[in-house]
Amino acid sequence: MNVNVFKETFQRYLTMVEQTLAQLPWGKDTLNESMYYSLIGGGKRIRPVLALASAEAVGGQPQDILLAAVSLELIHTYSLIHDDLPSMDNDDYRRGRLSNHKVFGEAQAILAGDGLLTYAFELLAEPGHFLPERQLRVIKEVAVAAGKAGMVGGQVADLAGEGKTLSLEEIEEIHKGKTGAMLTVSARLGGILAGGTEEQVGALTEYARALGLAFQIKDDILDVVGDSETIGKPVGSDLKKGKSTYPALLGLEGAERQLHVETLKAQSALEPFGKSAAFLNDLATFIEQRQH
């Protein structure tokens, strides 16, 4: 892994994502302000970055899929706003800043989330440089990944599992819905819109599934051993809420081992791409080693 090349590429993608988000036509009213507040609250932008890198891995131009890529961040942000609500996880802070409902109130936070989710589909349907059939396929896949069989379903299962001891299989099911489905569809979106073959899209899917699990295991580990300043939320909050985690089930060492297995699995799925997937390969290493 050439750390400098990786960081430069990451920064290039990040700049594209941040610029695109900032240049969307935001109004000056409370609704736009509340949507923008959470959207611009930092975060790793893993989903759009994954989409851009996947487009590049199959030989496409990342800038052609920018609106679709940032739509993934809108959906992710809406889910965080709703998850933080008092009736859900009741989190006052997100990424080290006050959560949306602490700033704008509960009603406005619900509507900010609704607005972001809806705006995401507007961006996905924006006329672009793609075959309309591909664009429709992507919209359907994103809706499935974000919906009852994916992210929303995972959140319901997560809430239902609080305070219970879950098996490894059960927590993998929750994570597949809650974070895995959207990460997977992010890679697929990039591959499909940029005209990747079915084999390439399949390889990206395999990569992103393993990466998603690795991401979640690392999240759980950081919640135990991380630094609250660095991760932007109190350490031990999963434990406090009675959430089942990988470290709780496998021990810290077992979780680290599983993290490494998933990282290698992700990287081996990239073999058919060769050099064009160098960034995705490094991204897996980066996620394994991240400190926040």
Chain contacts with a copy of itself (rule: CB under 8 A)? 27, 29-32, 35, 78, 82, 85, 87-88, 105-108, 110-111, 113-115, 117-119, 121-122, 124-127, 132-133, 135-137, 139-140, 142-144, 146-148, 152-153, 155-156, 159-160
Q: Fill in the amino acid letter for 42.
A: G
CB of 103 to a copy of itself, least distance (A): 14
Q: For residues 42 and 132, which CB has a smaller minimum distance to a copy of itself in the complex?
A: 132
CB of 101 to a copy of itself, least distance (A): 8
Q: For residues 162 and 271, which CB has a smaller minimum distance to a copy of itself in the complex?
A: 162
CB of 112 to a copy of itself, least distance (A): 9
Residue 93 bridge partners (DSSP): 98
Residues 6+ apart with CB under 8 A from 200: 57, 58, 191, 272, 273
The answer to whether 183 and 206 have CB atoms below 8 angstroms apart is: no
Q: For residues 133 and 253, which CB has a smaller minimum distance to a copy of itself in the complex?
A: 133
Cα(259)–Cα(255) distance, integer angstroms? 6
Q: For residues 118 and 291, which CB has a smaller minimum distance to a copy of itself in the complex?
A: 118
Q: For residues 84 and 262, which CB has a smaller minimum distance to a copy of itself in the complex?
A: 84
Of the candidates 47, 23, 7, the residue with the CA atom closest to the CA atom of residue 179: 47
CB of 223 to a copy of itself, least distance (A): 21
Of the candidates 196, 191, 154, 177, the residue with the CA atom closest to the CA atom of residue 68: 191
CB of 237 to a copy of itself, least distance (A): 17
Of the candidates 35, 46, 39, the residue with the CA atom closest to the CA atom of residue 20: 39
The answer to whether 205 and 192 have CB atoms below 8 angstroms apart is: no
Q: Fill in the amino acid letter for 21.
A: L
Angle at 190 between CA 120 and CA 218, to 5 degrees: 85
CB of 122 to a copy of itself, least distance (A): 4
CB of 33 to a copy of itself, least distance (A): 11
Burial class (CB in 10 A: 0-12, 13-18, 19+), 170: middle
Q: For residues 124 and 269, which CB has a smaller minimum distance to a copy of itself in the complex?
A: 124
Of the candidates 101, 93, 102, 100, the residue with the CA atom closest to the CA atom of residue 232: 93
Q: For residues 198 and 229, which CB has a smaller minimum distance to a copy of itself in the complex?
A: 198
Residues 6+ apart with CB under 8 A from 148: none
Q: For residues 107 and 253, which CB has a smaller minimum distance to a copy of itself in the complex?
A: 107
CB of 64 to a copy of itself, least distance (A): 16
